C-alpha cells in the first residue's frame, strides 16, 4: 500500500534522477511476490534431506530448488547498501507480500540474498552484498513491521551475476528473496 508520503518521495526521486529511475526494472506487485514465494518448491526435500540454514546458504543446488524472486528495482547506489526513503514504496510492496504470507503460515522463512556487480575487489563486493541484504531486513522490520525472526540474510557478492560482465551493471546490484522453511530442520 503506497502512502502519500512514500508516493511524494518517489515522484521527487524520479524527477531528480530520471535516468536512474527509468533504467531500473519495475518492482513486482505484492501479489506476484506472494505467488512466487508461496509456490511449491521445485523439489520438496524429504525430512532426512533437510539441512541447517548455514548449509542451505552454501548449497546452490538446494537454493535453486527453493522458490525465489529477484528484486532489481531497489536502486542501490554504486558502492552503497543504503535504502533511500525514495525506495520505501518498493520495500512496502515487498512487506505487504511478506505480511500476507506470514498471516497464512507463521512458519514461513525468507532468505534475503544481497548481490553486487563485479566492479571492485571480491572481498569488498562480498561485504557490500551482506550489507545490502541486512539493510533490506532492517528496513522491512523497522519501517514496515515484518517480524525479523522470519527473515535471514546472506551476501553473495559478485558470485551470481545476472549479467556476466566485469563492468558496472545495475541489474547485478539486487536482492533476491528466497523461501527456505521447507529446506531447513
Q: Which of 115, 58, 57, 112 is nearest to 81 (CA)?
A: 115
- The DSSP secondary structure of 131-180, one letter per residue, reads HHHHHHHHHHHHHH---GGGEEEEE-TTTT-SS--SS--GGGS-EEEEE-
CA Rg, the chain, in Å?
Answer: 16
- pLDDT for position 168: 86
Element (H, E) at 68: strand 68-71
- pLDDT for position 136: 97
Helix, strand, or coil here: 122?
helix
- pLDDT for position 72: 86
Least confident of 48-57, 70-79, 107-116: 70-79
- Helices (H), strands (E): how many in the chain? 7, 4
The chain-wide mean pLDDT, for the chain, equals: 87
Indicate whether 40 pLDDT > 50. Answer: yes
Indicate whether 5 pLDDT > 60. Answer: no
Of 39-48, 79-88, 138-147, which has the strongest mean pLDDT? 138-147
Indicate whether 70 pLDDT > 60. Answer: yes
Q: How many CB atoms lie within 10 A of CB 157?
A: 22
- pLDDT for position 96: 98
Q: Which of 47, 45, 151 is nearest to 91 (CA)?
A: 151
pLDDT, tens digit (0-9, with 9 covering 90-100), for 86-118: 999 999 999 999 999 999 999 999 999 999 989
Indicate whether 11 pLDDT > 50. Answer: no
Residue pair 113/154 in contact (Cβ under 8 Å)? The answer is yes
If one compares 104 and 13, the residue with the highest pLDDT of the two is 104
Indicate whether 83 pLDDT > 90. Answer: yes
Q: Which of 127, 128, 179 is nearest to 152 (CA)?
A: 179
Q: How long, in residues, is the chain?
A: 185
Amino acid at each position: 500500500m503506497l502512502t502519500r508520503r512514500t508516493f511524494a518521495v518517489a515522484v521527487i526521486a524520479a524527477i531528480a534522477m530520471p535516468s536512474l529511475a527509468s533504467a531500473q526494472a519495475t518492482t513486482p506487485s505484492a501479489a506476484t511476490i506472494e505467488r512466487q514465494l508461496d509456490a511449491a518448491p521445485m523439489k520438496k526435500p524429504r525430512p532426512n534431506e533437510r539441512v541447517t540454514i548455514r548449509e542451505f546458504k552454501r548449497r546452490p543446488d538446494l537454493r535453486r530448488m527453493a522458490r525465489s524472486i529477484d528484486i532489481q528495482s531497489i536502486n542501490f547506489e554504486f558502492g552503497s547498501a543504503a535504502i533511500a526513503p525514495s525506495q520505501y514504496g518498493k520495500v512496502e510492496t515487498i512487506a505487504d507480500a511478506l505480511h500476507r504470507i506470514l498471516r497464512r503460515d507463521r512458519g514461513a522463512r525468507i532468505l534475503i540474498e544481497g548481490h553486487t556487480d563485479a566492479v571492485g575487489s571480491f572481498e569488498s563486493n562480498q561485504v557490500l552484498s551482506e550489507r545490502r541484504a541486512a539493510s533490506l531486513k532492517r528496513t522491512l522490520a523497522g519501517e514496515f513491521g515484518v517480524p525479523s525472526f522470519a527473515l535471514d540474510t546472506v551476501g553473495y557478492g559478485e558470485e551470481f551475476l545476472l549479467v556476466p560482465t566485469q563492468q558496472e551493471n545495475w541489474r547485478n546490484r539486487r536482492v533476491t528473496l528466497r523461501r527456505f522453511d521447507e529446506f531447513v530442520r
